[in-house]
Amino acid sequence: MSAATDAGGDPAADGGDPAEGEEPATVTDAVVGALQESDLRIVGATMLAMYLLFLVLTVASEGIGPRTVNALVSTWVRLTFLFAAYSTLALALNLHWGYTGLFNIGVAGFMAMGVYGMALLSTSPDAVSGMGLGLPLPIGVVGGMTLAAVVGLLAALPALRLRADYLAIVTLGLSEIIRLTLNSATLSSWTVSTFGFGTGGGSGLDLPDTPTDALFAAGGPLDMTFPLVQTSVVRRAAWVVVMAVFVLLVYWLLRRVGNSPFGRVLKAIREDELVAQSLGKDTRWFKIKVFMLGCALMGLGGILWQGSQGFVSPNSFRPIVTFYVFVAVIVGGSGSNTGSIVGSILFVGLLFEGPRTIGSILGNALELGGSPGTFPAAVAPLGSLDPMPLLAYAVGNISAFRFILLGVVLVLLMQHRPEGVLGHRTETAAAVDLHRSGSGGETDE
Amino acid sequence: MSEPETNVPEDADVEAPDEPETQDSPVEQQAASVPAEIPLRVRNLRKTFGGIVAVDDASFEVEAGTITGLIGPNGAGKSTTFNCIAGAHTPDSGTVQFQGEEITGLRPDAIANRGLVRTFQIARELAEMTVLENLMLAPRGQVGEQLWKSVTPVARGDVIEQEAEIRDRVWETLDFFEIDHLAHQEAGTLSGGQRKLLEMARAMMTDPDMLLLDEPLAGVNPTLEEKLLDRIHELREQGYTFLLVEHDMDVIMENCEHVIVMHQGSVLAEGPPEEIRSNERVVEAYLGEDEL
Amino acid sequence: MGVNESLQRGRAAVRGKPFLFLAGVAGLVLLADLLARLAGVEVPITAERSFGGSLSALRFGGLVWNGIVVGLIFGLAGIGLSMTYSILNFANFSHGDLVTTGAFTGWGAALLIAGWGGSSAGHLLSVRAGSGAGPNAIGASVVQSPLAILVGVIVAAVATVLVTVAADRIVYKPMRDRGGIPLLIASIGVALALRYSIQFVYGARNRGVTATEGVGVPFYGVSIDLHEITLVIVAVGLMLGTHFLLQRTKLGKAMRAMADNKDLALVTGIPTERVVTATWVLGGALAGVSGYLYVLERGTIEFNLGWFLLLFIFAAVILGGIGSIYGAIAGGLVIGLVHEVSLIWISSDFNAAAAFVIMILVLLYRPEGLFGGVTTA
């Protein structure tokens, strides 16, 4: 029993280990080496705090009983899934905005390009909704990321010379154009008849299974029942491990980019593009390259997240998703890779999942009865000094509160702590230690 | 004489110092229709903003190895001329030649890559980067500025090797400008004068052939001012060429071999300082101004 | 000397022009196609495509009229966005939700008056949040209760102004000198908080609001929608009013001066905080009324309505040139016409995308706006 709890307790470490055994070892070593110890500790502590918070919340809502373990593991897996999804996207956005100052608020659109690109290549041709070419998944993933990068290039070529606020409007417009286009049934049926693949329009697109699902298939190594935890939860956990590996890879990549002369030029572009140019840097190419790289990573983030759920529709790529990612970056402090991950964890735990869980706990605990259907019905009893209907209504509409909270947090952060919760951080942009080498060297002038 | 940088202090160069231009374009090979003693030659420059003529038919030359001053009353068109030379503005007509090649209307980075590097009137430090990062940024043609070389393990070795070289040069430059104690501070926290020093140091890190300094002494306290001028003279002796925009007449008169006076967008007079001082037209142009 | 370089420069010089050239050619082709369709001429090109076709003057007229109607909404809302953009120097992403604020508060008041006594005040004020009397039973239409519709306009304006000024005091004022991007991000926060506060109070349901009885009036063979006529009259009236306010009053002149050049206005001693507040008041009122009128025209209301309009309003403002109210109006009409008339050629899946594409192209190639160059306010 306790062994099973442990396995669930840290899904990232145990759930899918058999599948990922060979690959991550060296990469993880590299990442750990690159990590400043304190950064690792900050990320770890934040994650731990969130796991503990949700341990308390889950116990509060489920009580202690035979189903608690499954509920808890399931919650932790869902949290970790969202941590990983938002971390990938926040890291990519941080490359654009935090590092280079490119104010891209079309994240959702580039995610969509990644997911749809992957799906059109790799979804089976006889899917129920939509139609793909049925190519192997790695081709689909690379294709999706490439598609996102190419769309990024098309946007970047003319748009990168624009002021930041204009770039924001252009990228938001582009992401809406992408969503509306994917929503088009006309387009889908036309591409199906012409090329043999289609997006499925508004009714969405079936996606290939995640590779980890094969482990659980009949006859697979994990085709078994697990004690205390449902198979579906373990299955999800296995995928979350894969996502975590990708987060580490992206983190490693972006740290390398940041700690290099290339990253130094990006920072200079953010601070003052004319200075960078006056020092002989052709800033156009730097911006185009970094925009494409970031867009490809946003595509990857989309694939890992929306692309792993068996089905996708254009509704998953509304601009609100972009704003979620933005909040994650701002919470952590733009310009810091570690901050992006910490911000993602805090965003998911405190702003995204937290309010919902607390709402349902309150709903159960207070035995509020049926929530009134409308606000007037909820406030009318206040006249007779009965606040319960209003409370019930508020709890019943907790999702609205979540967005209001998000808005308020965004405003408060911008007003009082624009540098994010971690405060002002300097991640030096150089590939070597910049302290004076040796014992000072010759000190002539 | 050609490029003066051979005797620059501590030049562990990023690119081959003798042929800084070869990577840019093949055009340079046929250069030298102008003697190399005149690295910068401005001809009939004209620039208007809306209906206002900021620079009107300005022509002048800068001799190699000199500190040349560009002065004039407010609104004389000094800064616009400067920006046209450095590529921040595209002139309406006229030409700018640097070391015999035409650079008119090129992008600022292309001009800087030819060895003509500028500083700014209001120091434009990269505020959230440390002084070290500011200087590390400057050298031209860094291997690691290519994305794939920064990232791939194989090429990363070259990048690190070059980074170490640049770092050592950076420290030498910091020592030279005596701002090594500020190395790890973010540039945004420096005083006005320190920023000017930083900007000079940063420009030097590009290993330029000629420096365009836009009011390098504006807002600098007298002690730092002396220090900055000392550095400029020292570098001049090593062979660098300077074009200096200043509004402080005394500074120009005491430090420049050659002075160009602009007035209402065109060149009013030029010559050695003592000649300019006694030039009636210059005195007239400055009438009402506090100087002279 | 540099042949390469002069070539490069030549290329750079014409870089802006191919776009104008292509746009011109495309425009001419579409115009010719439109005329051919109206004349009923069809020239087959391939099996599936042909040049021209048939398009009745009636349908074309209908599309143009629809374009003008929605264009006036975009333009009316765009005036405020354009002014705050230029005077306060940031893109206000909460502007769409101000439009929604006006729609709900205004219609709450209009329904309350139109349906007084027939249904509970809560049901009416919450704009039919739950089940209860339907739109036709309440009878909120310009035919059955013109007074209710008029009061609704006023309430929409006043309520939105209150929200706008409150947002300025609480959120934007403390950040006045923080630059465009922090303000933009804060405005996204305001947008979220406002939109979901509206959802909390009024509910998430998309529902009908206006009564339809007798609103369509036959007129020489076509049906005229009196709500659309009302919209056009009120919108044009408010635009003229804004024009006179800006041209004739001292405050208006100060606003124009600030829109043109904030530093200049600071130097010449115009009391800028007062001008800022006036900008919010004017912009908020117009945004609120435009939301109210939009619902009058389409008949239904939902909490996302303004957010969905936001990009169109941005498109209008950008097309007209940021800071110009006449530009915003003209830009609104262009975007409205593109949105509707483009249906002749493309499916309704893409007409919104077409409007956004035009916005992006203008931002890229003519960021000063289609009518830029002339400084107005």
Q: What is the pLDDT of residues A346-373, one digit of tens each?
A: 999 999 999 888 888 887 777 666 677 7
**CA pair distance C63, C345, nearest whole angstrom:** 12
User: Mutating which of C3, C5, C9, C11 best tests the B interface, going by the most B Cβ atoms within 10 A?
Assistant: C5
Question: Checking phi first, is residue A162 left (phi over 0); if not, alpha (psi -120 to 50) or beta?
Answer: beta
C104 close to A (CB below 8 A): no
Helix (H) or strand (E) holding C342: none
Nearest CA in chain B to A258: B150
In chain A, positions 249-278, which contact chain C (CB-CB < 8 Å)? none
Shortest alpha-carbon distance between residue A92 and chain C (Å) = 18
In chain A, positions 180-209, which contact chain C (CB-CB < 8 Å)? 180-181, 183-187
pLDDT of residue B6: 39
Q: Which of B27, B33, B105 is facing C4, going by the closest CB pair? A: B27
pLDDT of residue A341: 94
Q: Which of C121, C126, C363 is facing A162, going by the closest CB pair? A: C363
Is position B291 within any domain? Answer: no
A351 close to C (CB below 8 A): no
pLDDT above 70 (res A3)? no
pLDDT above 70 (res B10)? no
Provide the token pair at C66.
């629809």
Give me the sheet containing B40-49, strands edge to edge. Answer: B52-62, B40-49, B93-98, B101-102
Partners of B132 on chain A (C-beta within 8 Å) are: 428, 430, 434
pLDDT of residue A438: 59
Instruction: Give the largest Cα separation in chain B, rounded.
Output: 67
> Taking a C-beta distance cutoff of 8 angstroms, is the pair C232, C72 a contact?
yes
Nearest CA in chain B to A30: B153
**CA pair distance C362, C370, nearest whole angstrom:** 7
Band of residue A4 on the pLDDT scale cut at 50, 70, 90: very low
DSSP state, B9?
T
Helix (H) or strand (E) holding A398: helix A398-416
User: Which of A401, A402, A400, A376 lies closest to A389 in space, CA to CA?
Assistant: A376
Partners of A257 on chain B (C-beta within 8 Å) are: 147, 150-151
This complex has an ipTM of: 0.84
Question: Hey, where are the domains in chain C?
Answer: 19-55, 56-365
Q: Which of C90, C171, C196 is facing A411, going by the closest CB pair? A: C171
**Residues 6 or more apart whose Cβ sits within 8 Å of residue B28:** B21, B22, B101
> Taking a C-beta distance cutoff of 8 angstroms, is the pair C324, C369 a contact?
yes
Reported as a single tens digit per residue, the pLDDT across A160-207 is 878 788 888 889 999 999 999 999 888 888 888 888 888 888 888 888
**What is C56-365's CATH topology?**
ABC transporter involved in vitamin B12 uptake, BtuC (1.10.3470)
pLDDT above 50 (res B172)? yes
> Taking a C-beta distance cutoff of 8 angstroms, is the pair B206, B142 a contact?
no
* Interface A-C: count of C-beta contacts within 8 A: 150
Reported as a single tens digit per residue, the pLDDT across B19-58 is 444 444 444 444 444 444 888 999 999 898 877 888 888 8
Query: Are C188 and A401 within 8 A, CB to CB?
Result: no
Question: Hey, where are the domains in chain A?
Answer: 2-44+69-318
pLDDT above 80 (res C37)? yes
Per residue, what are the HEC states of A290-357?
HHHHHHHHHHHHHHHHHHHCCEECHHHHCHHHHHHHHHHHHHHCCCCHHHHHHHHHHHHHHHHHHHHH
Predicted TM-score (pTM) of this structure: 0.85
Is position B252 within any domain? Answer: yes
Partners of B102 on chain C (C-beta within 8 Å) are: 1-2, 5
pLDDT of residue A344: 95
What is the percent of chain C with per-residue pLDDT over 70, rounded to a whole number?
A: 88
Band of residue A30 on the pLDDT scale cut at 50, 70, 90: low
When pLDDT is averaged across residues A420-426 and rounded to a whole number, the result is 77
User: Which of C322, C307, C319 lies closest to C88 in space, CA to CA?
Assistant: C322
**CA pair distance C72, B266, nearest whole angstrom:** 51
Band of residue C270 on the pLDDT scale cut at 50, 70, 90: low
Between helices A68-93 and A283-305, what is the axis angle to 10°? 160
Count of CB atoms situated within 10 Å of the CB of A62: 17
A426 close to C (CB below 8 A): no
List the CATH number of the domain containing B121. Answer: 3.40.50.300
> Taking a C-beta distance cutoff of 8 angstroms, is the pair B237, B245 a contact?
no
Is position B141 within any domain? Answer: yes
Q: Which of B108, B128, B167 is facing A437, going by the closest CB pair? A: B167
C15 close to B (CB below 8 A): no
Shortest alpha-carbon distance between residue A112 and chain C (Å) = 16
pLDDT above 80 (res B197)? yes
A443 close to B (CB below 8 A): yes
Provide the token pair at B97.
């030649």
Domain range for B160 = 5-286
C1 close to B (CB below 8 A): yes
**Residues 6 or more apart whose Cβ sits within 8 Å of residue A436:** B171, B180, B183
Amino acid at B121: Q
pLDDT above 60 (res B251)? yes
Count of CB atoms situated within 10 Å of the CB of C232: 16
Shortest alpha-carbon distance between residue B87 and chain C (Å) = 13
pLDDT of residue A6: 38
Query: Are C181 and A103 within 8 A, CB to CB?
Result: yes
> Taking a C-beta distance cutoff of 8 angstroms, is the pair A313, A205 a contact?
yes
Partners of C3 on chain B (C-beta within 8 Å) are: 27
Reported as a single tens digit per residue, the pLDDT across A59-110 is 888 778 878 888 899 999 999 999 999 999 999 999 999 999 999 999 999 9
Query: Based on the structure, what is the number of domains in chain B?
Result: 1
Full DSSP string of A121-181: HHS-TT-SSSB-----HHHHHHHHHHHHHHHHHHHHHHHTTS-HHHHHHHHHHHHHHHHHH
Shortest alpha-carbon distance between residue C1 and chain B (Å) = 7
pLDDT above 80 (res A24)? no
